[in-house]
Structure 1
Amino acid sequence: MKRIFASLATMALVLIAGCSQIDSGNVGVSTTRGKIDLAERSQGNYFTPIETLSEFTTKEVSFQVNDQKPKSSDNLTMADMDVDIYFKANPAMVADTVLKYQGDVVKHKDIVAGSKSDNLVAGYSRLSREAREAIYSAVASFPATTMHTKRAELATEIQKRLQSELDKTDKDVWQVTGVNVRNLVTDPAIETSIRQTAERDQQIARANKDKELAQVVAAKNLIEAQGQAAVNETISRSLSPQLIRLKEIEAQQAFAGAGTHTVVMGNTAGSLVSIGK
């Protein structure tokens, strides 16, 4: 009886040891005597007494590319640049990737900050190398003095270049789902140049506003002057010689009515009138 119990216990241990589980969002890659089976195992439990079933994640994975010092389009070197790369592996291509990049396999917790997962990631060295290349080539298309204001555009450019390079030799293997420019520090000399550029732009803006104001005032004064000239012209044209002469006579009479003046009426000596009190 004891022998039967011992045999059953041994068989149970063998069965337990020969079972493998693949969780949701992952795939299994089977290796038997060093040969990789290219048919991935989906979620489930498997009896694997003579094979090794490794679990690879196909969920979104992020890794950091830190302490980069790329050059901008104006040949200025960044003091520091840190970038986060997000990607997903194609579940149907994991085994092929493991076969192609044998030895290039890392644990999830070794590349993802804060992770405790022992699930595996295939082709990480290829991914990280191409990510660095994409960062350097993307930065080279932006001027240093304005790069800090265009982080979103820079991240998009890095993502586009990285995906393009990966697809050249590994089409549909990885999908780059996002890029985040977490830190971007320019050289102190560039910072000074940025401040000087900003100050110069502000001065130009103020000068343009002053110029616009002066133009508006000048235009207003011109319109007012033209309007007054038109009024004077209208008045001048409305005065006939007879009316002008009548106004002169009325003015002379009013002046003479004061009683203490001599008024000359006309151009003859007989026109001299003296009025006194």
Structure 2
Amino acid sequence: MQWKLHWVRENWYVIVIIALAASGTGYWAYNNWGNSLIVCPGCNSPEVLNLDHYTIQNDTSQRPSLLTIWFAGNGPTGKSLMPQALYIENGPTKYPDCHWIPYNESSCLTPYNVTGVTIPAQAVVPITVDTSSSGFYFVAGQHYTIDVQTDKYYLGGFQVAYPPESLVQTGYTIGYDTGQANATVLNIWLANRGNASATLSAVTLQDSMSNSSPITFPMNGPTISKPGGWVEVTVDTLSSRFYFTHQHFYSLSIKASTGPPSISTISFS
């Protein structure tokens, strides 16, 4: 079987550098498994946080404002990070039309302060903030990007949705079945972002660059019992005559036994 590589994940700790500041002193890195972007001008840090799982619950007024994220600390033993504030990139701003920039978010975005929390390497620790303090409430059907200011640097790009999605796509490859001229093999890495066991029930694909109808592939599992756990799944579309085309983008919908479907865009380069 020949594979067309799109994303590679050797393990939880893969970090891919995507940008360097022109001065040579800045450092940006992206870890897709935990959806984290390090923004650390002038440093080369060995520590990173990954999103393990999360919940969004109602406050006393029965409106969704209580965000709890369990962060997993990755790095050498003995290292730790102390979160100081969470920011919601597409949430409330300090003034209209302000344009935030990474590593200076407090000049524009509303901080939700965090105190007394330390996340050691190799540990999973929850952080809870109440966004009602700024009059912000999560809206059904929306996705949000969360950034974290720590005692050492900013971590950004953590994705959450309301209501929370359970199984989400964190990486994929597209390739060829044995002896086939068309690409039909989709390999997906799924993570359980919910707070309970979740079973994969269906995968739906649609070519975003044609008028074709979506095709659903029923699935009987697997089950990811542990919040924050992950699994690799293979979907072969050959029997449905669904062929991946180079330079095309596809809508990928993951339906789980709990929570709404998670939808992402994939491409075949």
TM-score by length of 2: 0.25
Which gives a bigger RCO, structure 1 or 2 (Cα 8 Å, sep 6+)?
Answer: 2
* Higher strand fraction (1 or 2): 2
TM-score by length of 1: 0.24
